[in-house]
Amino acid sequence: MKRRRAALKAIFSYLAPEKLTNNMLAERFPDWNIDKAYQNTGVAVRSIAAADQCTSDLGIIAAEKMFAAGVCNPQDIDFLLFCTQTPDYFLPASACLMQDRLGLPTSCGAFDFNLGCSGYVYGLALGKGLIEAGLAENVLLIVGDTPSKAINPRDKGALALFSDGASATLLTALTSEDELIGPFVFGTDGKGAKNLIIPAGAFRQRSCPETRAERMDNDGNVRSPEQLFMDGAEIFNFTLQAIPPLVNRLLENAGLIWSEIDYVIFHQANQFMLEALRRKIKIPKEKFALILETHGNTSSASIPMALEIALQEGRIAKGNKILISGFGVGYSMAAAIITLI
């Protein structure tokens, strides 16, 4: 039946300007085997935001690229969704400042939502909901983070993996026979919150001299409770156990089988982990996005960045069905099917 549908119209991304290469890391940590870390993460270069550059600034550049390309005008946007865990302020929502800076109409709705690796999929679900309920025509979804600002300069494990960037996606209303964004499946397991967290500095544990004190862990990485902590082993365990059933549940809901999926984009968490997931789910290599080498782990921006690259490289085309899945910090997870228009 023909009805009002949300569709993904365009994606424009922006990586932070400064680069941190493996050679630079090897110089900074002479006793550390960067080649081994590279084999695991798959990351050759990370992007680092300038000292005065926030995620919102990166997101604004991405959105302005979209406007400059003539995809749409700022006046056309009637809802701005901004997904980040590295906002400008505790309050107000960065999305409110971005409405003004991007020249979006004051009749535009705007809010932030706080998710990381899973955030893009949740953002598509929110945008779809707004459009298909008739609450918005053109939703601008901006996602991204500047993890580098929350990482201790002596935490080589986290430094080697994360990268700063943002991505802007335009969702638009059209009339179509088929669902173009969705179906979706979601998942949450707050038991894993402690395994990927900035424990102090917000309202549960206020900033104080103790929360700023640095400690060294068993691997020789240094951090304070106000900086990013990740238990990589537990994140691996979670992902390997939770994601195969999640994406299989999605296919079942969609009434599709794996051979009907043209391309698969998982959150670009870590190359070794993604390869293990790919083997476990039995996804062919040529259908599986990997952009860690050049992009690093850009949190919520990793899926749209991989989607944009696949489009540019002609790996995917109109009518293709793309399976996307984001998972991590929370633990929060989601997966969806996107049909390209």
Partner 1 sequence: MDNNPFFEDLAAILEVEPGELQPDFVLNQENWNSLSIVSTIVLIDEYFSIAIPGENLRECKSLGELWQLIKDATNSPG
- Residue with tokens 């790996």, as numbered in its chain: 315
Tell me the two tokens of residue 88: 């400008």
Give the DSSP letter of residue 228: -
- To the query of whether residue 270 is one of the catalytic residues in this protein, the response is no
Q: Which residues bind partner 1 (CB under 8 A)?
A: 36-37, 40, 157, 218-219, 231-234, 236-237, 240-241, 272-273, 276, 279-280
Nearer to partner 1, 34 or 131 (CB): 34
- To the query of whether residue 253 is one of the catalytic residues in this protein, the response is no
Nearer to partner 1, 101 or 249 (CB): 249
Nearer to partner 1, 104 or 273 (CB): 273
CB of 334 to partner 1, least distance (A): 21
CA-CA-CA-CA torsion for 228, 234, 236, 239, nearest 10 degrees? -100
CB of 273 to partner 1, least distance (A): 7
**Short-list 154, 166, 114, 113, CA closest to 298:** 166
CB of 237 to partner 1, least distance (A): 4
Strands (E), the chain: 3-15, 18-21, 45-48, 79-83, 109-113, 138-145, 165-176, 181-188, 196-197, 215-216, 222-223, 229-230, 263-266, 321-328, 332-339
Q: Could you say which of 108, 267, 270, 295 is catalytic? A: 267
Q: Could you say which of 83, 117, 221, 295 is catalytic? A: 117
> Could you give the CA distance from residue 230 to residue 155 in angstroms, rounded to a whole number?
11
> Could you give the CA distance from residue 32 to residue 3 in angstroms, rounded to a whole number?
57
CB of 326 to partner 1, least distance (A): 20
- To the query of whether residue 297 is one of the catalytic residues in this protein, the response is yes
Catalytically active residues are 117, 267, 297
